[in-house]
Amino acid sequence: MKSVIIASMTAAGMAIAANAMATDMPPLAKKNNCVACHSVDKKIVGPAWMDVSKKYRNATTYTYKGNEYPLQEGLIMKVSRGGSGNWGSVPMPGNAPAVKDADIRELVQFVLSLAK
C-alpha cells in the first residue's frame, strides 16, 4: 500500500512540475505547438530551450546551410526552414508558412534571452 501511495505522489509531483514549467512557455510556443518537441528546461524531441540559449549565449553569428548570418537571423532561418545537425540526428522541421515570421522572431528572441 505504501508503494502505491509513494508512486501516486511521485507521479502527481512530476505532473505538477511539468505543468509549472509549461506555464513558463510563452503563449506563442503553445499556440504554434512548439511544446510538442521543446521544453524550457528538458530535452523532449528537440533540445531544451535553456540549452539552446546557453549554447549561443556569447555567439554573434550562426551558420545555416554553409552560410554565416547574424545570430538571430540565422536562427530564425533554421526555425522557419528547418535543418539538422546541431542537436543530434532528429531534424527540425520547417515551420513557415504555418507559423508567422513575427511569431518565429519573437520565439527566437525568447529562447536567446533565457540564459542571460
Does 69 score more than 90 pLDDT?
Answer: yes
Distances (CA, A) of 114 to 26, 36, 107: 12, 19, 11
Q: What is the mean pLDDT of the chain?
A: 85
For 24-43, the pLDDT digits (tens) are 899 999 999 999 999 999 99
DSSP codes joined into one string, 25-63: S-HHHHHTTGGGT--SSS-SSS--HHHHHHHTTT--EEE
The CATH class that applies to domain 27-113 reads mainly alpha
Q: What are phi and psi of 57, to 5 degrees?
A: -50, -45
Per-residue pLDDT averaged across 3-17, rounded? 48
CB-CB contact of 79 with 108 (8 Å): yes
Residue 89: helix, strand or coil by DSSP?
coil
Number of Cβ within a 10 Å radius of residue 102 = 9
For residue 102, the 8-state DSSP code is: H
Cell numbers at residue 68, please? 554565416
